[in-house]
Amino acid sequence: MTSNTRPLMTYTVLVVIVMLGLGIILAQLTRGYFINIFEQRVELESQYFITYLDRFTEDREVSQDELYNFSEQLNTGMIFISDSGQRMIDTVDAVPVISRDEKQEVITRVESGTSPMNEGQMLDEIFYYPVNNSVDGINGTLILLSPVEALTNITKNIWLLIGFTLLLGLLVIFVIGFNVFSKYIRPIRSAANVATELAKGNYKARTYEGHFGEAGQLSQSINILARNLQEMTSTKGMQENQLEAVINNMGNGLVLIDEKGYILLLNRAFLETFKGEQKDFIGHLYHDAIPYTTIHETVQKIYMFEETVSETFVLPVNIDRKHLEVTGAPIFSEDHKWRGVVLVFHDISELKQLEQMRKDFVANVSHELKTPITSIRGFSETLLDGAMKDEKMLEQFLQIILKESGRLQSLIQDLLELSKLERDDFLLNVEQVEVQRLLNDLLPIVEQHAEQKHVKLHASVQGSTWIQGDSSRLKQVFMNLLTNAINYSGDEGEVTLEFQELKNHVTIKITDNGVGIPEEEISRIFERFYRVDKARSRNSGGTGLGLAIVKHIVEAHDGTIHVESEVDVGTAFYVEIPKNFTEN
């Protein structure tokens, strides 16, 4: 039995029980009523029978056949049993409806005293009435037996009527019940099922709205509620996704702390900055999860003064340091109740580095310009003080002034070149370049410089490989690297130039066996004015800007440059240039 038919079946069973009970009660009442009527009738007729028997026994006016006819006409049998147990009269056979077994059962009941005198009794479909009497001076018991077929027929008719009424009632109940179920119970149950689905979070559930009355209004209200909830959920989900996307794609770290000090929310930038996972922060107290005193003090100030607070601190990351600025603000609800604190972490490391680079640049430029200017001014003053009259000293001083002015000019030219490379509108003159030919064109110039330094130059450049690039800028790169390799190799040193062609790029390797570079300083050699050996670099005529220029040119060609070096063993520069240049 399904839940949909359970109410209808329940009502049907109740009606059947009521009708059966009513039938039993009516049958019993009818039975009792007819028994009372038979008892009254037989009680009255018993006197008539007794009078008739007196005529039969005393006057002998009535014969035995007449007695049988009399019983047959009244449809009532008579049995007279004396007190000694002798059966003196028996006309039951005149009533064929009464069987011998039924007659014997009645006699047995009367003789055993089970049936009281002057009181009618029923035995199946037989009604019998025992009464004390005397026949022909002999005392005994007169028993009158009469079939009650009418009572049986009436009982059957009552049950037929009840059955027909029950069937008709069930049919009416089924029709009315089905109608009520379809119009009221089914829509209510459907609305209840939809309400259950809504409670589970399934806002796509709907119920049929084709009903009328209160059930129809309920179905419409449930569907309107479901549509509103679905729309609200969709809007909320979209807003949450948008908010999550905004928060996670912020360049700055963000942390939300509740009024009790527990971390409720953070974004991806915060995790990347502090090197952790969400489970390490969410649900933890801020002073346990974030081990930085400056942040603790910032939060405490916000709690104390209830205003926006900004602080700067340094976050150590491996061997580097990040400069962070944390800005915190209190959060209040609409009724001005305290809800927590929001912290935003700004990474100002690049600004700090730019500021430090500006300071270093000014200091380095000032230092680099100071030496040649001081030399030029000093020797000029010496000449003006009279040294110019000495031709030998005059020539020597003029040579020094020329050298220092050339150095000053070279420095200014490198600064202008570097400034030009760093400009946003800098463009390469891209063309097809044969790399081997470009390198071979540089070798005669470099070999002359190597001979002056007593350095052996080995070149392994064969084949013909074409790439896209700016030939003049590439010459500047390799000339600078080869010159540096010769300058730092020392007397009797060796410099090697190697070329290798790969699928998508070419690699040029320049190796020397000079003084080498300490491992901790390799990452800084491409900075402006940075020198590993400042005294030797300045004496070699370098400005400290060559490698910075090299790096910018290589990166402008979408290439890479890296260094391998060991102190007192030598240095190797690897330059990788793609064959196909993609201009940004």
The partner residues of 468 in beta bridges, in order of sequence, read 432
The number of residues in the chain equals: 584
pLDDT at 410: 66
Angle ∠(18,20,25) on CA atoms, nearest 5: 95
pLDDT at 414: 62
Q: Among 531, 552, 550, 553, which residue's Cα sits nearest to residue 541? A: 531
Average pLDDT over residues 98-121: 75
Q: Which domains does the chain show, CATH number per domain?
A: 6-147 (3.30.450), 254-347 (3.30.450.20), 353-421 (1.10.287.130), 428-578 (3.30.565.10)
Residue 455, pLDDT > 60, answer yes
The rounded distance, in Å, linking the Cα atoms of 553 and 427 is 11
pLDDT at 574: 92
- pLDDT bin (cut points 50, 70, 90) of residue 442 is confident
Average pLDDT over residues 550-556: 83
pLDDT at 537: 47
417/444: higher pLDDT: 444
Q: Among 61, 46, 63, 50, which residue's Cα sits nearest to residue 135? A: 50
pLDDT averaged over every residue in the chain: 76
Backbone angles phi, psi at 533, to 5 degrees: -115, 95
- pLDDT bin (cut points 50, 70, 90) of residue 211 is low
Collect all residues with Cβ–Cβ distance below 8 Å to 207 and sequence separation of at least 6: 187, 190, 191, 193, 194, 219, 222, 223
Q: Among 329, 328, 340, 330, which residue's Cα sits nearest to residue 262? A: 340
205/534: higher pLDDT: 205
Beta strands, E only, 12-94: 77-82, 87-90
435, 499 Cβ separation under 8 angstroms: yes
DSSP line for 530-542? --SSHHHHHHTT-
pLDDT at 536: 46
The partner residues of 507 in beta bridges, in order of sequence, read 500, 576
Highest mean pLDDT among 176-180, 186-190, 480-484: 480-484
List pLDDT tens digits, range 11-37: 677 777 877 777 777 767 776 776 677
Residue 337, pLDDT > 60, answer yes
List pLDDT tens digits, range 486-540: 888 877 788 999 988 888 888 989 998 888 888 777 777 777 666 665 544 444 5
List pLDDT tens digits, range 61-70: 556 677 777 7
Instruction: Label residue 49 exposed, middle or buried (CB < 10 Å: 0-12, 13-18, 19+).
Output: buried
Helix, strand or coil, per DSSP, at residue 466: strand
Q: How many CA atoms lie within 13 A of 478 on its CB side?
A: 29
The rounded distance, in Å, linking the Cα atoms of 207 and 457 is 90
